[in-house]
Structure formats: structure tokens, C-alpha cells
Chain A
Amino acid sequence: MIEVSNITKTYNSGENSFQALKGVSFTINNGEFVAIMGPSGSGKSTLMHILGCLDTPTSGIYQLDGKDVSTMTDDEQADIRRDNIGFVFQSFNLLPRTTVLRNVMLPLIYANETPERREVEARNALLAAGLDEKYFMHKSNQLSGGQIQRVAIARALVNNPTMILADEPTGNLDSRTGEIVLGTFQRLNETLGRTVILITHEPDVAEHADRIIVIRDGVIVSDAKNTKKRKAAIHTDQQ
């Protein structure tokens, strides 16, 4: 469970200070599929960094599974990122010249899992993300955009995180491949009960979630259930 209460973030650069978040509060329960939507400069990236424990809030409390993570040290945050959060980035960020399987294992390597467990977990995650087994030993630069993003999703899944944090996951994909990726998120949420938080500026993308939080100028302007949820047009695993 994610509980954010009255979080602010102020950036100081020289004499100018800029308040990116001006008191943001919400709660996300396990198993929810939430989209955080807002135009660029709205503070959604800052919020995502704080949710992902990549940054700490200036004030306010952020609790993840009952633990206050807003005042943790760098290394404690690294542990939270490793154990509780799965990231999916707009630009995929796979390691080049490294096999698909090893890319997915990477979080488990930092978690000191045994090599045998790593392999099993990574294979399961890749299958759950909908990548065919024949690509497992491919190098990441030999795959298509949609396949790469599935590998990235598998990597986010592999450590059984509290939430999957996807930052503009369709931003670098064509709309058809984007639909496939969004379909994958929907399936992970519905069939495996994963908590998914989708950060986007596109209403079309946000409408794939069950709940949409709209943020503008550092404050939440709306937080409501998505009444017109869109089913991803392509829900199968054909690529």
C-alpha cells in the first residue's frame, strides 16, 4: 500500500527556488491500476521520482507498505528500490550487448539471489510479460521496440515488487506496439493482481487505467475512478 500525505518538493537553484510539488496526498491500495496524468512541468516526474525512491520530498510523509521511506538514506532507498519497486522507463534502459535473460536477472543479482533462483524467476517474469522463450538468449539490441519494452516489464516484475512504476512506457513506441504494452500492464494487473502506476501526459494512455490522478502545477486537480476504461485493442501476445 502506498500512502502519500501532503508531500512538497522545492528545488533550490541559486537564489531562485521552485516548488514542483505543493502538497500532494493520495493512497493507492495493492492491486490498483492508477494513471498519474499531467502535462510536462506539472510535477508528475518529480512525483514519480519520489514514489520510486529516487528522490526524497522536502516535506510530507511517504509510506510504502507501512514504512516511512521519505527520510531514508541513499543505501536504504536502494534497498527499497530493489525489493519494492519495479521500474519501466520510456527509453527502456536495457543493458546493451547483454542477453535478455541476464537483463531481467539484474535486480536479482543485486538482491544476492542464487544463480538457480535468478534463472527461474527471470524466465517466469519474461513469460508473464509475454515474451516468447526463443528470444531469451538474444542480445537486447537484436529485439524490436515492443519486445524490448516487454523485457523491461519483465525486469520490473522479477523481484515481486509492491508496485510497477511505468514512466511514459509507450512514449517511444508506435501506437500499435503501445497498445500491446498497455495490454500487458492490464493483464498483469487483472490476472496477477499487480499494482501498476502509469505516469503519462496522454489521456489516451491514462484511460487504460482504473483510476486517474490528474496533476497540474504541483497540485492534484482530480483523483477519480476511470468510468470509461479502455481495453487495450490488442490483448494477445502476437508481435
Chain B
Amino acid sequence: MTTNDILHETYSALTANKVRTGLTMLGIIIGISSVITMVSIGNGAQNSIQSSIQSIGSNLVIVTPGATRSFGGGPQQARGSAQTLTVADGQAIQSQVANIGSIAFDVSSREQVIAKGTNSNTSITGTTASYATVRNIEVSDGVFITDQDVAVSAKVVVLGPTTASDLFTDGTEPVGQQIRINGGIYTIVGVTKSKGGSGFSNADDAIYMPYTTAQHYISGNQYLTEIDVSASSAEVTTQVQNDITTLLLSRHNIADTTKADFSTLNQSDIIATASSVTSTFTILLAAVAGISLLVGGIGIMNMMLTTVTERTREIGLRKAIGAKKSDINNQFLIESIMLTFTGGVIGVALGWTISIVVSQLGIISTTVTVSSVLLAFGVSAVIGVLFGYYPARRAANLNPIDALRFE
């Protein structure tokens, strides 16, 4: 038998009962398309969480003060509230820890901000010029804080785009205008580009000023609320994190690491944790979809068994005129493979379309990966062989005499 003959036989067998073939195929179509859609939603969620973490900065190690501990066992205060990090700590990190790209000091607080009668409560971040590099902030208008501003504690501020539009509702160009924070008057020198809201803080709703200015006029002390260190590459972030911990422990004279008065957070750790969460989520979705694929496969087997019984006489005739066991076996196996393969193709197309529609509707940004398509195809072919094998064997092993007599 030539390939052409086999295809001809398969086509005429599958089109003989179109409704049944269609319904059986539907099981596979739903199975395959749900695998593709679910995996694409999972991947989309993973990508969006990762990119929002990435947007905080690159290869970031964040050092924050620990909890305040009072001698004699008083109540422990919230983490980050302690005043343990100093500018000297930051400078020591900068000069003594290897593989540091850039470093930024933060003095953050929330303050009421007034501009021409409009007012807003927003986060004030006192920082250094390097903050823009460390936190991936770009300026759309004007300039960012400079080292000179920091050196002279200049009363200049840079606004996030949300803050700028909140304060200047009438559309006035913010750069060059003055705002009042905590009684002091500050000149706006720049507006940053929008980064989009990330999970942790909204970089668009913020006001940046030199940290020295924030220490003098707002916090009134010499402490830092955060040190942001950007490691020179992703590979060295762990080393940088460990070195910072060791350095600060020795500077603060702490021998027991569990009693450290600061904590460090590594951006890759956050990404890794988030990835593992979203992978689990993706696997869960794929497993649920996989079950529907399995049910579809059982549907194929059911149809093939029915077909073999219905066509018993035909099988007997084919054997009587010279078909071998292998001919009959192949015929039925190829029928079930064609059924799942066609279902697979339609399923991939449908799944892909659904993923695109989900993205277009803005529900979640989905990503169809080649691997999920290949996986779905592979699984559907395997299902065709697996669930077609038993019915085909049954057909091939029919005794031609019994098959011819079958009513």
C-alpha cells in the first residue's frame, strides 16, 4: 500500500461519519487548546511579574535598617524603623566591597507637598545622583539631582510624572516652578519618565531631592533609610550581598548574625522566588488542561473501538482478499493518529487565538511559547498512537472467518 492509498482509506473512513469524527476530535481540540492557553497565561503572568521586579533596578542589593532593639527586652519595633545605617556605612560599602556598579543613599519619608494651592501627600526620597542608574530612572524633562546638589544640600527636587500631574493640574510646565514641603521652598529641576507601577512602590508618584537636603530639612538626623547597591553583573549579586553583610556586621560590632541591625535583600532572590511561584502556578494550569487532553484521548479510543466493531465485516473482507495483520493494524492506527493530529492542529490554532484574544482584551498579557506548541503536538501524537494501538490490535487480530460471518 502506498502512502497515498493509506491517506485515501483514512480520509474516506473518517468522513464516513462526520458528526462522530467531529465530536471525537472536539475532545482533543479542547484538550490541546486549553493546554496552550493555560501555559501561555502562566508564562504571561511569569513574564509580567519578572519584568515588574526587573523594573526596580538592575542586579540590585537593598540594605535596610533592622528593627530597633531596646536593652532589657523592650518591645521590638517594626523592621526598617531603626536608625542604624549611616552615610559612613554607605561610603564604606562603596570603597570596600568589590564588584559594585553604583550605589545610592536613600532618606525616605512621606510628606505633604503644596504647589500653588494644590496639595498632595507623597513619598519624598532623598538620594544621590547615582539613584537614577541604580533604579533605572530616566528623566523626561529637565535634569536629575547632581552630585553638586548633594554636596551643597541644594533645595531642588525632581518629580515623578504622577506627582507632577497631581500638583500641576492646570498643565503648567513643572520645571522651574517652586513647591513647599514641610515649610521649606524647593525648586523643581526635572520630571522623570513613567516606569509604570511596580509591586513594591510607585516610582511615578515620588519626589526626589538630594539626601543631604532631606537630612537637613526633613528628617533632621544623619541616618539613611536605605542603601541601594547595584552589582556590576547578575552573577556577583550574591557575593556583593554577602560582602555587605560581613562589612556592616563588623562596622556595627555584631558577632551574632541573627542579631544584625540591618537586612539585605537581593533582587535575584526576589525574582527566583517569584519565578518558582509562577512556575508552580503554570504547572497547575497545565495539569488541569492535561486532564482534559487525557479525557479527549479516551474519547478517541472509544470511537476507534466502536469503529472496529462496526467494520468487522470489512476487516474480514480485507483479510480475505490478501490484507496482512500489519496492513489492518496500520490502517486503524493511522486513522486514530490522523484524528488526533487534525484535532491537534485545530487545537493549537484555537489555543493560540484564545491566547491572543486574552492579551488583546487586556486580561493578562499571554505568551505562547514554541515549546508548549511542540509539547501539545507531541502529546496529541502520542495519544493517537497510545489510544489507537489497542483498537488497531483488536482489528488486526480478528479471524477473517469470524469477521466475514459477523452480522
Contact = CB atoms under 8 A, between A and B. Distances in A.
Interface of A: 49, 52, 54-55, 74-75, 78-79, 81-83, 87, 89, 91, 93, 95, 97-98, 106-107, 109-112, 115, 155, 159
A115 B323 CA distance: 17
Nearest to A84: B322
Contacts of B135: none
Contacts of A155: 321
A21 to B, nearest CB: 15
Q: Which of B313, B322, B326 has the most CB of A within 10 A?
A: B322
Nearest to B396: A74
B320 A110 contact: no
Contacts of B324: 74-75, 78-79, 110
Contacts of A109: 1, 5
B323 A78 contact: yes
12 contacts: A49-B401, A74-B324, A75-B326, A78-B324, A79-B322, A91-B313, A106-B318, A109-B1, A110-B323, A111-B322, A115-B2, A155-B321
A150 to B, nearest CB: 16
B16 A78 contact: no
Contact of B325 (A74, A89, A115): A74
A164 to B, nearest CB: 12
A122 B162 CA distance: 83
Contacts of B253: none
B5 A78 contact: no
Given A109-B5, A110-B1, A112-B1, A81 B401 contact: no
A109 B16 CA distance: 21
Contact of A81 (B1, B313, B321): B321
Contacts of B319: 54, 78, 81
A18 to B, nearest CB: 15
B400 interface: yes
B5 A89 contact: no
Contacts of B97: none
Interface string B313-352: 1101111111111110000000000000000000000000
Contacts of A81: 319-322
A57 to B, nearest CB: 14
Interface of B: 1-2, 4-5, 12, 16, 313-314, 316-327, 400-401, 404
B317 A83 contact: no
A23 to B, nearest CB: 22
B330 to A, nearest CB: 12
A110 B321 contact: yes
Contacts of B320: 52, 54, 81, 87, 89, 93
B12 A55 contact: no
A125 to B, nearest CB: 13
Contacts, number: 65
Contacts of B321: 81-82, 87, 106-107, 110, 155
Contact of B12 (A97, A107, A112, A115): A97
Contacts of B401: 49, 54-55
Contacts of A110: 1, 318, 321-324, 327
A78 B400 CA distance: 10
Given A95-B314, A110-B321, 6 more contacts: A52-B320, A54-B319, A54-B320, A54-B400, A75-B324, A93-B404
Contact of B322 (A49, A83, A89, A98): A83
A95 B237 CA distance: 73
Contacts of A78: 319, 322-325
Contacts of A83: 322
Nearest to A112: B1
Contact of A75 (B314, B316, B325): B325
B322 A97 contact: no
Contacts of A87: 320-321
A112 B314 CA distance: 20
B351 to A, nearest CB: 33
Contacts of A49: 401
A55 B316 CA distance: 13
B400 to A, nearest CB: 5
A93 B318 CA distance: 10
Contacts of B316: 93
B313 A93 contact: yes
A79 B323 CA distance: 8
Residue of A75, A79, A106, A115 with most partner-chain B CB within 10 A: A106
A97 B314 CA distance: 12
Contacts of A106: 318, 321
B16 A97 contact: yes
A79 B316 CA distance: 15
Nearest to A111: B322
B242 to A, nearest CB: 72
Nearest to B317: A93
B404 A107 contact: no
A100 to B, nearest CB: 14
B80 to A, nearest CB: 78
A79 B321 CA distance: 9
Nearest to B323: A110
B12 A89 contact: no
Contacts of B314: 93, 95
A81 B16 CA distance: 28
Contacts of A93: 313-314, 316-317, 320, 404
A74 B398 CA distance: 12
A98 B12 contact: yes
Contacts of A79: 322, 324
Nearest to B1: A109
The 7 closest A-B pairs by CB, nearest first: A82-B322, A93-B317, A110-B322, A107-B321, A78-B324, A81-B322, A75-B324
B231 to A, nearest CB: 69
